[in-house]
């Protein structure tokens, strides 16, 4: 939903160069957001987790 991303909108831009992004809000919500994963390591992304855990799990799975 757009409200979970702060109303993220893609403005006119050049896809080969850059995209102009705008947000209609600077606020966050407490809504749960689904994350889907498949392939090796996907079992690490089940259940409910803090959004900051995704970074650490991906980093570990990539061997960093």
Three-state helix/strand/coil letters over the chain: CHHHHCCCEEEEEECCCEEEEECCCCCCCCCCCCCCCCCCCHHHHCCCCCHHHHHHHHHHHCCC
Taking alpha carbons only, the member of 61, 40, 58 closest to residue 49 is 58
pLDDT tens-place string over residues 12-43:
766 666 777 777 777 777 778 889 999 999 99
Is the pTM higher than 0.85? The answer reads: no
Q: Are 20 and 13 in contact (CB under 8 A)?
A: yes
pLDDT at 2: 47
């Amino acid at each position: 939903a757009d409200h979970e991303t702060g109303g993220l909108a893609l403005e006119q831009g050049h896809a080969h160069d850059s995209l102009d992004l705008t947000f209609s809000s600077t606020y966050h919500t407490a809504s749960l957001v689904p994350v889907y994963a498949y392939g090796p390591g996907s079992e690490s992304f089940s259940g409910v987790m803090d959004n900051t855990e995704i970074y650490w799990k991906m980093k570990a799975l990539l061997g960093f």
